[in-house]
Structure 1
Amino acid sequence: MGNKIFDLEKNFSSFGAYHSNPINIAIHMLFSWPIFFTAILLLDYTPPLFNLPTSTFLFLEAMSTGTLAALLCWVCWIGSNFLATRLRFSLAWKIVLVAQVVGWTGLSIGHGVFEGRAPALLDNLAQGLIMGPYFVLFEALQKFFGYEPYPGFHASAQTMIEAEINEWREKKQK
């Protein structure tokens, strides 16, 4: 079956099991990328741990959704750098703080009120923080444009999502 880290169907299904409520999904679509963007904005004010050549850009992905996600990450990086060079830190950190507080509050409400389940990042921090924006993009492409990386992906992922939700509900009842 291959490495589960690179198993798109398994990872998307796992993420989807935490995001099955339509309102929670909409909240994530609204807040995930602004959280990502403002985190990068704040990082623009921190010194690098080590210097990389300015032409180095490490977002590489073979899939079309990965390429689009990399493009969005690049746009966030360029946009945050543009803002960072024009804003003073005293204003930038306030924008970041408001966006982060509103975004994380929205995501928490989505999980607590609408999903009835703790967020995925409590079980898998990397998936919740790093892959969250990607899976939100993937979900939007699927929902609004019918995108599937290969035929049958959505049906297979939906079956796996339902199985994970049922397993979680059974554990919760015990």
Structure 2
Amino acid sequence: MNAFFKRQLADYVEYHRNPWNGAMHVLGILTLFFAAILPLNLVPVQVLGVQTTLAPILALPVLIYWLLLDVALGAAILGFAVALFAAATFVVHHASTAMVWSITLPLIAVGIAFQVIGHRVFEQRQPALVDNPSHFLLGPMFVTAKLFIALGLRRDLAAIIQTDPQNQPSSFTEEHQVGPLPRS
């Protein structure tokens, strides 16, 4: 994990301390990603002799960015993205264009609502991307990092994510910690 990602993640965490806000972000990010790729799957393209749609072509740069930030988290996000691409392809092949858009628009509204409720109700703070627009791309990395931590896979990320503003371990860390977390 590079130093840039660590700094960005530490800054992002300051806006996402409440676990309910985190849960709202999981739902919101998945919903918004699916809503973004769904209509893009309506646009067929051919790249290097391979028939595909606009969805993976436009998602590729951000997927590469996430892989460059952290290979393990980026690979996990890629796996989730493949599943969402498959689901979007299924919907597009079984629904009319009008139906795809009638699914997409409410999904966008619901995804944004999850984000707004998470910040307004649970975090009581404006979203991180208001202060730093690059944080728009950190949400999926943050959510995936929290999943890895919950599975006991990334103690290095736990050292960044599971501290309170005074750098004291959170109650989750204290209760589940086997040994001291490594400091970088």
TM-score, structure 1 normalization: 0.74
Distance 1:126 1:82, change over 3 A: farther
Query: In 1, are the aligned partners of 2:28 and 2:113 still within 8 Å (CA)?
Result: no
Give the aligned partner of residue 52 of structure 1.
47
Distance 1:94 1:34 in 2: 14
Query: 1:77-88 maps to which residues of 2 (within 5 A)?
Result: 77-88=85-96
Distance 1:89 1:118, change over 3 A: same
Query: 1:33-48 maps to which residues of 2 (within 5 A)?
Result: 33-46=30-43
- State the 1:147 CA deviation: 2.4
Stretches of structure 2 that go unaligned for 5 or more consecutive residues are: 168-184
Match of 1:134 among 133, 141, 146: 141
Give the aligned partner of residue 147 of structure 1.
153
Q: Does 1:97 align with 2:105?
A: yes
**Quick check: 55-64 or 102-111, which moved more?**
55-64
- Structure (1 or 2) with the greater strand fraction: 2
Query: In 1, are the aligned partners of 2:9 and 2:138 still within 8 Å (CA)?
Result: no
Query: In 1, are the aligned partners of 2:24 and 2:118 still within 8 Å (CA)?
Result: yes
Stretches of structure 1 that go unaligned for 5 or more consecutive residues are: 165-174
- State the 1:47 CA deviation: 6.5
Q: How many residues align?
A: 154
- State the 1:8 CA deviation: 2.4
Query: In 2, are the aligned partners of 1:31 and 1:103 still within 8 Å (CA)?
Result: yes
Query: In 2, are the aligned partners of 1:10 and 1:157 still within 8 Å (CA)?
Result: no
- State the 1:163 CA deviation: 5.9
Give the aligned partner of residue 174 of structure 2.
none
- State the 1:124 CA deviation: 2.7
Distance 1:9 1:145 in 2: 20
Query: In 2, are the aligned partners of 1:9 and 1:157 still within 8 Å (CA)?
Result: no
CA RMSD across the alignment:
2.8
Query: In 2, are the aligned partners of 1:84 and 1:92 still within 8 Å (CA)?
Result: yes
Paired AA for residue 135 in structure 1: F
TM-score, structure 2 normalization: 0.70
Query: In 1, are the aligned partners of 2:20 and 2:122 still within 8 Å (CA)?
Result: yes
Give the aligned partner of residue 114 of structure 2.
106
CA deviations 1:20-75 (Å, max 9, x no partner) are 11111111122211210111002223476xx5333887444362221111111122
1 or 2 for the larger relative contact order (CA 8 Å, sep ≥6)?
A: 1
